[in-house]
Structure 1
Amino acid sequence: MLKPDHTDHRIRSQRTYKEALTLAMSDRVLLPDHLLTVESRLPEMPHAVRAIYNSYYWAAHSLKARAWLQAVIILNLALIGFDAFLDPSLLAPSLIIRGGIVTTILVALWILWAREQNHAVQGASLIAVSATIMIEAAALGLLGGEALFERYLTGGLFTVATAILFFPIAFSWTICAVTLATFLYVVMLAAGPVADPLIAVFTGCFYCSAMITFASTRKAALRSHWKSFKSKVRELRDQETLEQLNVELRLAADLDPLTGVRNRRAAQEEISRICEGGAQDVAFLMLDIDDFKILNDRYGHAIGDDCIRQVARSIADNLRSRDLVSRYGGEEFLVVLRAADRDCASAAAERIRKSIEQLHIGEPGNFIDRTVTVSIGVALRHGDEAPEKTIDRADEALYAAKRAGKNRTVIAPSPADGPAPSPRRSDHQRREVA
């Protein structure tokens, strides 16, 4: 029965741990970056920050408290036989005290620690452990007589000392538990049957100093855990920033810096993914700005760049979100239409061409005195045709549109209807036709 509960608790604590870290990492208003780099103490933090940290800390360490409680429950039950071995008259009291009262209290605390509790409840649980263990040791020690009293009392104090190391609670509650255990030890030692009071006092001082040392260790551990939390949040934020930069760098590497659309390399990679995925009815549109060299020479490179930017924007505005546009050359663009038949591709090409005719290149009040047009070649991919072959056919259709007078759309014949495409045009041939 304990194993399923342990598994549920582990899953719950892991979820709480991740949620607390995610909230701390993402909320830079609540926990600014500068608070993660300067020396600070948890009590100085805003209540909301402390609440997040407490959830994180409980999730990271509550398993230790439950493991300690589980071990003490098993040990306590095993000691019933040990009590009877030392003194047979202790069997009945041990069954009642260890097996009944103390085990019930420890099991209740074990169940309590299965879920996150507020600081007061967590602290009170360690106080309950201190009082229960010390009273149990004193009661059984008294019943066992002088020979067992001091040993049982010392054993109880040692057990409480280990609890201080395992219970993830605030330092103030740790001090309360240490004080209570020490106080009960001294009072019971003074009131109980002790063979040599002087040795008992020295033994008590030794174990009390050990308790103080354990408490100091707890304080140092709490400071270390707080620093570790800040370091973890800072590391996660740095990772998030680095990932964001990597995304931006990858995006910048895929985009044409002038137009903001995909560049040729990114387009080729995306086309390969589309075609390898078995996409059907893919159409390719090859577009080239007519007489761009004349425009560039007459009006200057600034106007030429503005023309290319506006043409790219106009193409993108007339496509669906699933379609692809890329700058394929200087003034040449490649469009990939998904799920597009001949009519759809032709309509898209004409829509783009007419939209570009309406562009006004230049500054308001100083537009250039000519209309910008494009020639478009359209080719539909057939079967398992290599995308490079389809692009070649679209390029040949574009070449035909240029020869036919420009500012028009030409649809390439399918491989079965027409001759094999000519070799792909060189850059020199493109400049001649443009």
Structure 2
Amino acid sequence: MSASPQVRYQPRGPAVMAEVERLLAGRTRDIRLRGELGRLFQERSWSRTAKIIRAWMIWVTLLDVLTLGLNAILLPKAVALSMLPPACLLPPAALATAFIWRKPRGVWLQRVSLLAGLFLILLSVALVGVSAGGEFYERHLNIMLFVAITAIIIFAIPLAWTMTVASLALGLYLIFQLQNPGLERGSAVAGTLFFASGIIATVVARRTITILAQKTFLLELRDMRRVAELADANARLERLAKTDPLTGIANRRWMMETLNRL
């Protein structure tokens, strides 16, 4: 049975609580959780983050398989077959990432697995359009950016990871657009800059959501400490009420309560 949140995430030591008070006294946008506070926040949020990542990976896999089936039915056979090899890259990458995120592991393994999995997913979506060519070329590049944006929005991961995902998506988009036979180099760069502005705004929004979640966590820690201090004060008052101040032994009130209890 897992420990209750108040026991599991109870801050340790006055230094931690001093840091909590310092962060809450400053501006919200300046909140940065480091050391023990960062560890406690990651421990608290890991389960929810892992569930979201696993669900996203599974749904992306299902949608990929469904799309392949529809393409086989609706599109010419030659086009559908050209899409098949790159599309088969996505399910193993997504399911492997979901498997790794089933339980807590080393931070480096979580980071490498997530970023590698997302890169292969984005690459697979882009290559499907590149392989099919024609109208599918740019369409699937736009779909790739949409997939990246959804991951940026819903994955509560460190900012450095989020920026890496954004860079991978924009880098793939620019590389494939520069190779697009139906697009001039200037148009490819202009299109990348246009989408970059939207992705940067999304990263900033994700960072704001993370900061607000961290502030909520700090408020919870402060409230937990205050509740613990209040409980200690009440316990001390109760002991004083049942103890003779001169002798330090139990008084008549303690005796009557004990007799009534017996």
For 1:238, give the aligned amino acid.
Answer: R
Q: In 1, Cα distance between the equivalents of 2:47 and 2:230?
A: 27
Match of 1:42 among 14, 19, 32: 32
RMSD across aligned positions (CA):
2.9
CA deviations over 1:204-255 (Å, ceiling 9, x no partner):
4443222111111122223223322222211111111111112222222233
Q: Secondary structure at the match of 1:42?
A: coil
Distance in 1 separating the partners of 2:59 and 2:235: 49
Amino acid at match of 1:42: R
Q: Aligned in 2, Cα 1:143/1:156: closer, same or farther, shift over 3 Å?
A: same
Q: How many residues align?
A: 255
In 1, the alpha carbon distance for the partners of 2:86 and 2:177 equals: 20
TM-aligned CA deviation for residue 202 of structure 1: 5.5
Identity of aligned residues (%): 24
Q: TM-score, normalised by structure 2?
A: 0.83
Provide the rounded CA distance (Å) in 1 between the counterparts of 2:235 and 2:82: 69
Larger helix fraction of residues: 2
- Contact 1:66 1:113 survives alignment (8 Å): yes
**In the alignment, what sits opposite 1:55?**
43
Amino acid at match of 2:129: G
Query: 1:172-197 deviations in whole A, cap 9, x for unaligned?
Result: 22112211210110110110243687
Q: How many angstroms does 1:119 deviate by?
A: 3.6
Query: How much does 1:81 deviate?
Result: 1.9
Pair 248,67 (structure 1): closer, same or farther in 2 beyond 3 Å? same
* Alignment map for 1:5-404 (pairs within 5 Å): 20-22=8-10, 25=11, 27-28=12-13, 31-39=15-23, 41-42=31-32, 45-46=34-35, 48-84=36-72, 85-98=74-87, 100-194=88-182, 203-274=191-262
After alignment, is 265-274 or 169-178 more displaced?
265-274
CA 1:261/1:93 → structure 2, altered by over 3 Å: closer, same or farther? Answer: farther
Letter paired with 2:61: I
The answer on whether the counterparts of 2:115 and 2:165 sit within 8 Å (CA) in structure 1 is: yes
Residue 257 of structure 2 aligns with an amino acid whose one-letter code is E
Q: How far apart in 2 are the matches of 1:195 and 1:51? A: 48
Equivalent residue letter for 2:32: L
- 1:16 and 1:95, CA in 2 relative to 1: closer, same or farther beyond 3 A? farther
1:256 is matched by which residue type in structure 2?
D
Cα distance per residue 1:400-432 (max 9 Å; x no partner): xxxxxxxxxxxxxxxxxxxxxxxxxxxxxxxxx
TM-score (norm 1): 0.52
For residues 291-317 of structure 1, the C-alpha deviation after alignment (integer angstroms, 9 at most, x for no partner) is xxxxxxxxxxxxxxxxxxxxxxxxxxx
Counterpart contact for 1:87–1:144, Cα < 8 Å: no
Higher Cα Rg, which structure: 1
Contact 2:83–2:132 under 8 Å retained in 1: no
Go from structure 1 to structure 2 and tell me whether the alpha carbon gap of 1:253 and 1:19 turns closer, same or farther (over 3 Å shift).
closer
Q: Which whole-Å CA distance do the structure 2 matches of 1:125 and 1:17 have between them?
A: 28
Distance 1:51 1:80, change over 3 A: same
Unaligned runs of 5+ in 1: 1-10, 275-434
| Structure 1 residues 87 and 196, CA gap change in structure 2 (3 angstroms) | farther
